[in-house]
Amino acid sequence: MKGILAGCLALACGATPPGSDGFALARPGYRFAFPRDHGSHPAFRTEWWYFTGHLWTGDGSRRFGYQLTFFRQASPPAAWKGSQAWRSDQLHLAHAALTDEKGQRFLVDERLDRAGLMAGATEDQLNLFQQDWRAAQDPSGRIRLHMSVRGATLDLTLDPATPPVIFGEDGLSRKGADSGAASHYLTFPRLKSQGTLRLPEGPVLAVQGLSWMDHEFSSSQLAQDQVGWDWAGIQLRDGRSLMAYRLRRKDGSQDPFSTLTEVDAAGHIQRSTRAFSLIPKGRWRSPATGTDYPLPLVLEAWGERFTLLPLLPNQELQTGRSTGITYWEGACRVLDATGQEIGDAYVELTGYAHSLQGRF
């Protein structure tokens, strides 16, 4: 009787029944509730909290980009082969990166820990840690971030300019024709950001700017014929935000479930389309891995054209000590059709060094 009641309560809270491997599946009808859904969802196999942002010093003389991503990856209980004293079915991974435009450098670090003393995520609110890297939301709704990367230390307070935006339909973000290729996906597209950045050589700089936060949880992301994605979070100076998610098939074509969504300054979804293009206008080859990335990119939709121009070409992450994925993730300028700078973006390019099939 208790098990039946627990199952009914889980469904009432928006959870879904498990699949054949015991993990919950992303299904339509999920009802988000906050602050709970900013927290962890261990019933799902995979989850990530993704922070990126553009920061400037007070006089505007220096510009930085940053990325801090927390991943949670679960395994079925029977998969644990280690000591029972250290048993944990939740694996935590994290990536951090800092782009220093003036210094022409890209600093990267990664971490891998099992849940416990070194890493964790609460289920009732946003409260993440991986060693000394942290992200936590206080009762006022502000998010505090701390990360250190290759001698640099960043402390930020992020203040949401809008309520969280939920992508997809009926609480579900479809990623492909396969029934399991879906996630629950929410974001804060505009987070007013301020704090301090200590550079490796010593100076402590007061910085301010704008950040973006994505949060997704699922038990399967990609369909069988998909190898990766091109993603862009775009913050325009006119107050609009755009999220482009181009899913790539093995033959290089764009999957029909790719989406572009426009969010207005109040945080409302204004329009969404599958009819958009991300067009390579050049190529950058990584000297470290030999991988070719389509950079810069041009986004075309609704009669508008945006060029996404990297602050630095080399913003490639090699994460062999954590997720095992090589990808490009970087800060970009946004230019209009006349070449005028009209916004900022973060772009993620995956599946170019190797397929992501089977990894998510």
For residues 7 and 95, the model is more confident at 95
Q: What is the length of the chain?
A: 360
Residues 6+ apart with CB under 8 A from 12: none
On average, the pLDDT of the chain sits at 89
> What's the average model confidence in pLDDT over 266-285?
96
| Alpha-helix residue ranges (DSSP H) falling in the chain | 2-12
Q: How many CB atoms lie within 10 A of CB 232?
A: 22
- Cα–Cα distances in angstroms (integers) from residue 80 to residues 86, 89, 119, 220, in the given order: 10, 7, 18, 20
Quote the tokens at residue 226: 């998909």
Query: Which burial class, exposed, middle or buried, applies to 174 when counting CB atoms under 10 A from its CB (0-12, 13-18, 19+)?
Result: buried
Residue 92, pLDDT above cutoff 60: yes
For residues 309 and 223, the model is more confident at 309
Residue 241 · residue 211 · CB < 8 Å? no
Taking only the tens place, the pLDDT of each residue in 177-203 is 887 889 999 999 999 999 999 999 988
pLDDT at 9: 24
- CATH for 32-79+87-349 is 2.40.370.10
Residue 222, pLDDT above cutoff 80: no
Interior/surface letters 41-59, b for 16+ CB within 10 angstroms, e for the rest: bbbbbbbbbbbbbbbbbee
Taking only the tens place, the pLDDT of each residue in 51-90 is 999 999 999 999 999 999 999 998 765 444 554 444 458 9
pLDDT at 220: 74
**HSE-CB for 141 with a 13 A CA cutoff:** 10
Locate tokens 């074509």: which residue? Answer: 253
Quote the tokens at residue 144: 């505090």
Beta bridge partners of 237: none
Q: How many CB atoms lie within 10 A of CB 179?
A: 13
Quote the tokens at residue 207: 């910085």
Taking only the tens place, the pLDDT of each residue in 1-40 is 222 222 222 222 334 444 546 789 999 999 999 999 999 9
Query: Amino acid identity, residue 128?
Result: L
pLDDT at 11: 27
Residue 245, pLDDT above cutoff 60: yes
Residue 262 · residue 241 · CB < 8 Å? yes
pLDDT at 321: 84
